[in-house]
Amino acid sequence: MLDDQFLVDYQHVTIVRNGADLLKNISLQVHSGDFITLEGMVGSGKSTLLRSLYADVPVAQGSARVLGFDLKQLPFRKVSKLRRQMGIVFQNYLLFDNKTVFDNLKFVLDSLDFKVDGNQKDYIMSVLEKTSLADKASVFPHQLSGGERQTVAIARALVHKPKLILADEPTGNLDGDTAAHIAQILFSYSQQGAAVIVATHDEPVFADFQHVGYKINGTSLDKIE
């Protein structure tokens, strides 16, 4: 593990998909507390870029370091150590339908052997309270609306206090008020010192939150000034 200045430090990175350069010669640096949006059309490579950050898609060229790990030199057995420091919000939620909202969060803590200060039940309820889900603790995901399921997915990603949150289209297909609520939760978490990277095609939702925007244009990643 490396002692890096950045949580994410991509220098001249190329990511290949189906034998062609999807993203080429891109650079991205992320500090603690940063709130970053990745913008671009559907299929432009936003999700693939996020997947490269948690070592699900390999980096073909360049220097790629995330949370102190060199992705070019990262053996498979250490991938889980990288991901333990992350919270990942997937487009399709990936919640456990046979577990209640409470137990979805408990599963993460138990799987990671994450120790909380005080009582675990009280801690989980405090996370649900902060995400406006306390009254849904005993409900199963299939009984929730799409916006509520997305909020559960975010609460689950935050519950182990990760240093880096990666959210893939977290406001897609949600109404305006629900999307704004999701954006507020993510932004608030970045204000606590973690970094948050959001892939989105719903740019206006994040306009009111101080953030750094990047846009995928062809194979390049350009900072929005």
**Is residue 204 classed as helix, strand or coil in its secondary structure?**
helix
- The domain spanning residue 133 has which CATH number? 3.40.50.300
What pLDDT is stored for residue 5 in this prediction? Answer: 80
69 domain residue, yes or no:
no
* Cα(205)–Cα(183) distance, integer angstroms: 7
* Pairing, β 20-30 against β 195-200: unpaired
What residue ranges of the chain have pLDDT lower than 70? 1-4
What is the per-residue pLDDT across 165-178, written as a single tens digit (0 to 9) for each? 999 999 987 898 99
* Cα(4)–Cα(36) distance, integer angstroms: 19
Q: CA quadruple 49, 55, 186, 7: dihedral positive or negative? A: negative
* Cα(78)–Cα(219) distance, integer angstroms: 29
What pLDDT is stored for residue 203 in this prediction? Answer: 87
The domain tally of the chain equals: 1
12 domain residue, yes or no:
no
Full domain range(s) for residue 102: 32-56+83-223
What are the φ and ψ backbone dihedral angles of 10, each rounded to 5 degrees?
Answer: -105, 125
13 domain residue, yes or no:
no
209 domain residue, yes or no:
yes
CB atoms within 10 A of CB 190: 21
97 domain residue, yes or no:
yes
What pLDDT is stored for residue 91 in this prediction? Answer: 86
What pLDDT is stored for residue 4 in this prediction? Answer: 60
* Cα(102)–Cα(30) distance, integer angstroms: 31
**Is residue 178 classed as helix, strand or coil in its secondary structure?**
helix
158 domain residue, yes or no:
yes
72 domain residue, yes or no:
no
What pLDDT is stored for residue 2 in this prediction? Answer: 43
63 domain residue, yes or no:
no
Q: Please report which helix (H) or strand (E) contains residue 69, including its range.
A: strand 69-70
What pLDDT is stored for residue 3 in this prediction? Answer: 47
